[in-house]
Chain A
Amino acid sequence: MRTPRIVASALGVAAAAGLAWAAFVPPRVDSRDELFEIPQGTWARRMAGDKVDVLPDRIDLALGLNDHLLLRNLDDVPQQFGPVLVMPGQSFRLPFEVASTYSFDCTAHASGQMTIVVADTPATPWEVLRWRWNRMKARMHA
């Protein structure tokens, strides 16, 4: 039964190559904006009793890659995003220049807090890998 072994080996090599690429190839981004949008109709859905979460409790950013938090309100009413009230059709772009953990009061979260963790630009293969993993997770939850 050589075929299954060959297939398994090929998959293993491909996975290792993918992992090596993810760890060693420096990340490049088209935009440094980390975008969160409130879609139109969010307020109406909340009024109807739907639980609508737009912002996660924790947002991970990295300097030089995705260090601009961009909040966009596409709804018809003003919306509170963490510490900021954004008017309908308006956006708010907050740049970060210092790696740190930022905590904001946020009435939209059950905990009453929103945390933004800004990390240094990933430099080591492990940091690059972790950044790609976190970004992929964030994209999947978006």
Chain B
Amino acid sequence: MNFPRRFLLTLSLAVASALAAAADAPPAGLKAGVFDPPQAAAEFPDGLRASDGTALKLAHYRGKVVLLAFGFTHCPAICPSTLATLAEARKLLSEGGAAMQVIFVTVDPERDDPAHLGKYLAGFDPSFVGGTGQPRALELLRGSYGVSARKLPAADGGGDYAMSHSTSIFLIDREGRLRALMPFGHSATDFAHDVRQLMAAR
């Protein structure tokens, strides 16, 4: 092999290595907390139903940036605020919003059936997808994302209980890798910023 051919081969290998490394590198400057190295996001266990009644699987949304939230429709403050923020972020992305998918999984399957979830979420954005199912399947899902949830009895002893739960949002890239976690309190601008970064990332 002569020198120019060897040089070109070495150069090609170096470029290929750099591109491969860039593909796994965490996106620079995310507003959210970043996992390094990113790993495949846990697939949803069997038995979860989407708000349209179909089986809910994460793989179905491959190619989109998924924002995965956990909450419940009777939540008085945190969940409505989070969903309103995510709806605003989607609007900020304008045409790019189609590549962003919000999945809101309930921590309160007793009260949140698919139809109720769908109606509730449509009030924020018709593209949002809800998830519910058997308590055991939901518990498994929460465990694989490190999400906590517990029932808080009603103060007056009645049946109108509340739920305490983790409030962070998981950001999953277009290839199904868990890339980041956004704590509660960030603005729609921050979400739009990070979704853009993840859409641009390889």
Q: Chain A: residues with CB nearer than 8 A to chain B?
A: 69, 78, 80, 83-87, 89-95, 97, 100, 102, 104-105, 107
Q: Nearest chain A CB to B185's CB is how many angstroms away?
A: 8
* Chain A residues, CB < 8 A from B34: 92-94
In the assembled complex, the Cα of A104 lies from the Cα of B37 at a distance in Å of 23
| A92 and B33 within 8 A (CB) | yes
Chain A residue at minimum C-beta to C-beta distance from B36: A91
Per-position binary interface string of chain B over residues 141-183, scored 1 when its CB falls under 8 Å from any chain A CB and 0 otherwise:
0001110100000000000000010101000000000000101
Task: Tell me whether A92 and B146 are in contact in the complex, defined as CB-CB below 8 angstroms, given that A83-B181, A84-B168 are known contacts.
Answer: no
Name the 6 nearest CB pairs between A and B, nearest first: A85-B146, A94-B33, A105-B148, A91-B36, A83-B168, A80-B146
In the assembled complex, the Cα of A89 lies from the Cα of B185 at a distance in Å of 29
Provide 28 A-B residue pairs closer than 8 Å at the C-beta atoms, listed in order of the A residue: A69-B33, A78-B146, A80-B146, A83-B146, A83-B166, A83-B168, A83-B183, A84-B33, A84-B168, A84-B181, A85-B144, A85-B145, A85-B146, A90-B35, A90-B36, A90-B37, A90-B39, A92-B34, A92-B35, A92-B36, A93-B26, A93-B36, A94-B33, A94-B181, A97-B31, A102-B183, A102-B185, A105-B164
* Chain A residues, CB < 8 A from B35: 86-87, 90-92
In the assembled complex, the Cα of A105 lies from the Cα of B167 at a distance in Å of 9
Task: Tell me whether A104 and B36 are in contact in the complex, defined as CB-CB below 8 angstroms, given that A83-B168, A97-B31 are known contacts.
Answer: no
Chain B residue at minimum C-beta to C-beta distance from A84: B181
| B31 and A95 within 8 A (CB) | yes
In the assembled complex, the Cα of A97 lies from the Cα of B146 at a distance in Å of 24
Q: Chain B: residues with CB nearer than 8 A to chain A?
A: 26, 30-37, 39, 144-146, 148, 164, 166, 168, 181, 183, 185
Of the listed residues B35, B39, B164, B168, the one surrounded by the most CB atoms of chain A closer than 10 A to its CB is B35
Q: What secondary structure prevails in chain A residues at the interface with B?
A: strand
Q: Nearest chain A CB to B184's CB is how many angstroms away?
A: 9
What would 9 more interface pairs be, CB under 8 Å, given A78-B146, A83-B168, A93-B33? A69-B33, A83-B183, A84-B146, A85-B145, A85-B146, A90-B39, A93-B36, A94-B32, A97-B31
In the assembled complex, the Cα of A92 lies from the Cα of B36 at a distance in Å of 6
Of the listed residues B26, B146, B166, B181, the one surrounded by the most CB atoms of chain A closer than 10 A to its CB is B146
Q: Nearest chain A CB to B192's CB is how many angstroms away?
A: 15
In the assembled complex, the Cα of A94 lies from the Cα of B26 at a distance in Å of 12
Task: Tell me whether A95 and B33 are in contact in the complex, defined as CB-CB below 8 angstroms, given that A83-B166, A83-B168, A83-B181 are known contacts.
Answer: yes
In the assembled complex, the Cα of A84 lies from the Cα of B31 at a distance in Å of 16
Chain B residue at minimum C-beta to C-beta distance from A116: B183
* Chain A residues, CB < 8 A from B144: 85
* Chain A residues, CB < 8 A from B39: 87, 90
In the assembled complex, the Cα of A85 lies from the Cα of B33 at a distance in Å of 12
* Chain A residues, CB < 8 A from B164: 105
* Chain A residues, CB < 8 A from B36: 90-93
Chain B residue at minimum C-beta to C-beta distance from A106: B148
| A92 and B31 within 8 A (CB) | no
Chain A residue at minimum C-beta to C-beta distance from B168: A83
